[in-house]
């Protein structure tokens, strides 16, 4: 059998279903690629969220496809966390200084009390003034009067000065001896430098 073409100028036409079928075949790899890429992105984001719980909380707020938004959000959260850390470190340093200062003040008065308990039978101590200036000094002015007439040994003064110097350090003292009849007295000012606290 011989095929004879009766219509020489007739153009071959495609049916609409054939065209749609060809378009579908051409789009199938592109759609497959997009689905595979989205699946890989989702899997990777799920892994990131699972392994980094803090970042995962932040990343849940942004869509998976918005990487730039996720990075911006993570950077903002990072800056916020750094700010909080610096605030907490500053508060911790201030608290440490306050505790050290409170301990120094306590030890200062404890040294005075211990010395007074030791020598309360031999000497009388009269406190003239106490000055406490935070980040500057702790200062006490007192009179030390021995009860024995003619005694010039100021045991309380020497003991307090030695105790404070051992416990705290940074001590300065000024003393002036004075006499009245048979009694001698020592007017003393002891200053502890607390400027570094």
Model confidence over 160-172: pLDDT tens digits? Answer: 888 887 777 767 7
CB 179 within 8 A of CB 185: yes
Ramachandran assignment for 173, one of left (phi > 0), alpha (psi -120 to 50 degrees), beta (any other):
beta
CB 123 within 8 A of CB 149: no
3-class SS at 132? strand
Question: What is the average pLDDT across 43-69?
Answer: 72
Give the position of tokens 């040994």: 153
Percent of the chain with pLDDT over 70: 77
**Each residue's pLDDT tens digit, 71-117:** 787 788 889 889 999 999 999 998 888 888 888 888 888 888 888 88
- DSSP labels, 14-62: --HHHHHHHHHHHHHHHHHHHHHHHHHHHHHHHHHHHH-HHHHHHHTTS
| Domains delineated in the chain | 17-84 (no CATH), 106-193 (3.90.1520.10)
Task: List Cα–Cα distances, 177 to 18, 91, 151, 154, in angstroms.
Answer: 121, 46, 12, 10
The span from the CA of 81 to the CA of 19, in Å, is 58
């Amino acid at each position: 059998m011989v095929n004879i073409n009766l219509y020489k100028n007739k153009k071959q036409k495609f049916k609409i279903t054939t065209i749609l079928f060809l378009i579908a075949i051409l789009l199938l790899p592109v759609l497959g690629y997009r689905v595979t890429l989205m699946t890989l992105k989702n899997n990777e984001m799920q892994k990131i969220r699972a392994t980094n719980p803090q970042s995962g909380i932040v990343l849940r707020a942004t869509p998976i496809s918005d990487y730039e938004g996720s990075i911006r959000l993570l950077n903002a959260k990072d800056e916020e966390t750094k700010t909080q850390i610096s605030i907490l470190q500053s508060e911790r340093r201030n608290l440490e200084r306050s505790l050290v200062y409170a301990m120094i003040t306590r030890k200062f008065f404890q040294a005075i009390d211990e010395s007074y308990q030791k020598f309360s039978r031999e000497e009388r101590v009269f406190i003239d003034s106490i000055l406490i200036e935070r980040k500057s000094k702790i200062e006490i002015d007192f009179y030390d009067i021995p009860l024995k007439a003619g005694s010039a040994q100021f045991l309380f003064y020497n003991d307090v000065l030695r105790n404070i110097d051992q416990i705290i350090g940074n001590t300065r003292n000024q003393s002036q001896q004075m006499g009245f009849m048979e009694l001698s007295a020592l007017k003393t000012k002891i200053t502890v430098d607390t400027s570094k606290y």
